[in-house]
Amino acid sequence: MADLSVNFAGIKSPNPFWLASGPLTNTGYQVAKAFDEGWGGAVWKTVGEPVVNVSSRLGGLDYGGRRMMGLNNIELISDRSLEDNLREIAQVKRRFPDQAVVVSVMVESRPEAWADVLHQIEDTGADGVEMNFGCPHGMSERGMGSIIGQVPDYTCQITGYAKSFTKLPVIVKLTPNVTDIRNPARSAVLGGADALSLINTINSVMGIDLDTWRPLPHVDGRGSHGGYCGPAVKPIALHMVSSIAQDEGVGVPISGIGGIETWRDAVEFLLLGASTVQVCTAAMHYGFRIVREMTDGLNDYLNARGMARVGELTGGALNRLGDWNDLNLSYQVVARIDQQKCVGCNLCYIACDDGGHQCIDLIPGQKVPLVREADCVGCNLCSLVCPVPGCIDMVPIETGRPAKTWRGLA
């Protein structure tokens, strides 16, 4: 067995799989049930001044027969009293001393408000706090959430409040609703953040019912912008995680969030700089038991690569990711079609002729289209639309040209 344990900014857990703050960490019952299934940690649903939540709250994006490819929510922070939450946090931590219990928190931007809530959280025995600077709806209209995370000066200042009032590790959860994620990340670190987590949900409108013209979801016929998450956001999350992992002005541990469903997804986040990962939508969709496949798959992957500890993965692929200007302009791939696997659907021809570079021909009397390799630019479109796995490969060819980059030419 590989060693899956992590020490994240002083917070220890038996594996890197944590539940993200959300509806699935709303009660002690839920978090305890998750820990029984094997989750390494959980970030409690954001506590603060209790709110009144709306009904209904969730909207799903289905695509190609796949349910909940994306999920939108207009739910706010916990609508349970701070006292009830704190009591259950303490109970869970006593029962599960080895699992990480982190408390997400959001209060008004006053030093005394942060001092009061953080002292109460410390008394529960929790392992750390996560400052919610990312919620894009409802709370931002009240001067909290993403309205803080979108202004680097506010991020720095309020992080400083927290650091001055608690000895617990402070994680700052960043909003993706910014132009450059590195700016608030640097500001959080400047304010004293011990770690960062990202991404929070993306501002979105899920859709409109074409029969009733009601937004989805709707509350008594009216809707609002909400937070978008789920598998569809993973590429955005990977980009932002890698951006701050590579930034010299950050340099603190990162907890990756956004569209993680499998151990493979988790490994991608780890390779791009995360030390732990947080899961929400997938656990809401399939239940807490998915962590069993995640831990087994991660263990098998590490063993197959001869790695003893999960920490060996963190940042392993960062040196392969950089600026476009540094890409080799002399590198060339072309499409090659496997004649045995081709079913003659001609989707590759249609895509190339209408949306690509017109380098695939249909030959009368021949089932398999012909790629004119001399004209193929290697865009990959044909291989992406092909319905048969492995039928179209993108094959590197020798060009005889020396490696060169745009930066080198400039």
Domains of the chain, by residue range, sit at: 6-320, 324-409
Quote the tokens at residue 146: 């993403």
Whether 126 contacts 86, CB under 8 Å? no
Whether 264 contacts 283, CB under 8 Å? no
End-to-end CA distance of the chain: 50
Look at residue 249 in the predicted model and tell me its pLDDT: 93
Give the contacts of 152 (CB within 8 A, at least 6 positions apart): 183, 184, 186, 187
User: What pTM was computed for the model?
Assistant: 0.93
Residues 166-196: tens digit of each pLDDT: 999 999 999 999 999 999 999 999 999 999 9
Quote the tokens at residue 7: 């020490």
Domain 324-409 - what CATH class?
A: alpha beta
Phi, psi of 78 (to 5 degrees): -60, 135
| Separation between Cα atoms, residue 142 and residue 140, nearest integer Å | 5
* Chosen CATH of 6-320 out of 3.40.50.410, 3.20.20.70, 3.40.50.2000, 3.40.50.11540: 3.20.20.70
| Separation between Cα atoms, residue 153 and residue 214, nearest integer Å | 38
Q: 323 to each of 2, 183, 226, how far by Cα in Å?
A: 34, 18, 32
| Separation between Cα atoms, residue 260 and residue 292, nearest integer Å | 14
Whether 260 contacts 16, CB under 8 Å? no
Quote the tokens at residue 185: 């990340």
Amino acid of residue 68: M
* CA 398 to the chain's CA centroid: 38
The CB-side HSE value for 296 (13 A sphere, CA atoms) comes to 6
| Separation between Cα atoms, residue 268 and residue 97, nearest integer Å | 29
Look at residue 227 in the predicted model and tell me its pLDDT: 80
State the burial class of residue 223 (Cβ atoms within 10 Å of its Cβ: 0-12, 13-18, 19+).
Answer: buried
| Separation between Cα atoms, residue 320 and residue 247, nearest integer Å | 15
State the burial class of residue 33 (Cβ atoms within 10 Å of its Cβ: 0-12, 13-18, 19+).
Answer: middle
| Separation between Cα atoms, residue 9 and residue 194, nearest integer Å | 6
Whether 43 contacts 102, CB under 8 Å? yes
Place of tokens 């988790």: 266
Which pLDDT tens digits describe the chain residue by residue (410 residues)? 899 999 999 999 999 999 999 999 999 999 999 999 999 999 999 998 777 777 887 788 888 888 988 888 877 788 899 999 999 999 999 999 999 999 999 888 889 999 999 999 999 999 999 999 877 654 565 565 677 878 888 899 999 999 999 999 999 999 999 999 999 999 999 999 999 999 998 888 889 999 999 988 888 888 787 788 889 999 999 999 999 999 999 999 999 999 999 999 999 999 999 999 999 999 999 999 999 999 999 999 999 999 999 999 999 999 999 999 999 999 999 999 999 999 999 999 999 999 999 999 999 999 999 999 999 999 999 999 999 999 999 999 998 999 999 987 86
Whether 115 contacts 165, CB under 8 Å? yes
Domains 6-320 and 324-409 agree in fold: no
Residue in 135, 156, 359, 386 annotated catalytic: 135
State yes or no: is 348 an active-site residue: no
